[in-house]
Amino acid sequence: MFLHIDLDCFFVSAARVKDPSLNGKVVAVAGGNKTDIFGDFIESGVIVSASYEARAQGIVCTTHSNLAKKICPEIIILPTDFELYSELSNKLFTLLLNFTNEIEKYSIDEYFVDLAGTKFDSNPLEFAKFLKEKIQNELGLPCSIGLSKTKFIAKFATNLAKPNGIRLISSPDEISEFEISKFPGVGKSASKFLNSRGITHIKDVLNAKSVFDKLGKNGITLYERICALDSDKIEKQRQRKSLAMARTFAPIYDRSVIEKRLLVLCRYVSFDVYTLGLNPSKFELKIRYKDRQSISASVTLHEIFTQKLLEKTIKELFFTHDKFSDFAITYLSVAVGGLDTKESKSLFDNLPNKNKTIDNALTKIRLKYGIDAIKSGGEI
């Protein structure tokens, strides 16, 4: 039996753990309303998490904070706090380890747990009730839990259990009357495609494999998930394909300011690379101009990764590919790919490199005092 946990209104719930006086009040978390990594102040923007008290008044995710204030003047709008979210998510993982190590972190506020081989598999519903209460009492976080024989039907069960409930689905037949658009992973485009071919409800899926085949690999996967045909297993460590740091900002013409911002993005990407023990080989830069024209450029280098190497490579890509130098820039993205933890480990451990040694020391300092504790020369 698979158990799926989804923390309810996680960003709002996390804020309430930190400040219990927010309990019962109309609260939302919005992007912005803080100083970003470049030192720019960003006013509150789109809401990314709304309490159920806020939802009752028509305030949901994607509502702009200015509109939310007009709808409900007493609403409390808070900035995001990803350090807090990560801390609480990790605490939940540690709590789950008390029962099994077959745990998959699906997102910062979602976990799959495989109960097979544990004593809890004989009475999963009773265990779910116990676990839900434990998460609430020890972490202060409300959650919803779904149970089923496959992962994504368990996730669908969680959606049906929200808010703050538990749902067990023993057979796919129990969900046959639900609209296909309600199933996890069926986006708007897929839903439109399926509806146009007569697949409007989950019960229509069983004899329609040929239609899902037309959606390619993702369609086949979706068909197997809906029909409970997939051989599910817990993915304990999802393989990363890339790491990126990107920001949108007010138009900037001055290329010296842009260069400094690139260094800031490189610092953040480098920190993630080192803390995850990776050795990327692909370096990518994306630029967007005020007129929405975009440029992407990348290069592959088989060298030991260092922050200096990333900074040098990204600056070279920028000065080579900045084809509209008279235009203001509004967006920058620095990304690395070709991630290989095994290669990374052997390279880091066996080859001497002065810059690598410096980066290791910088990473230790930043882990202790924060990523902004030490900046590169030329940074803002």
In our burial notation (b when 16+ CB lie closer than 10 A, e otherwise), range 93-122 reads eeebeebbebbbbbebbbbbbbbeeeebee
Strands (E), the chain: 2-7, 27-30, 34-35, 41-42, 47-50, 76-79, 103-107, 110-114, 143-148, 166-168, 242-252, 282-289, 294-300, 329-337
Tokens of 196: 């146009």
* Angle formed at CA 312 by CA 239 and CA 307, multiple of 5 degrees: 50
Q: Phi/psi at 190 (nearest 5 deg)?
A: -65, -40
| Angle 240-84-269 from CA coordinates, rounded to 5° | 35
Structure tokens at 112: 């799959």
* Catalytic position from the list 53, 104, 110, 311: 110
Helix (H) or strand (E) run with residue 61 in it = none
The reply to whether 110 belongs to the active site is yes
Six-digit token pair at 332? 């920058």
The set of catalytic residues is 110
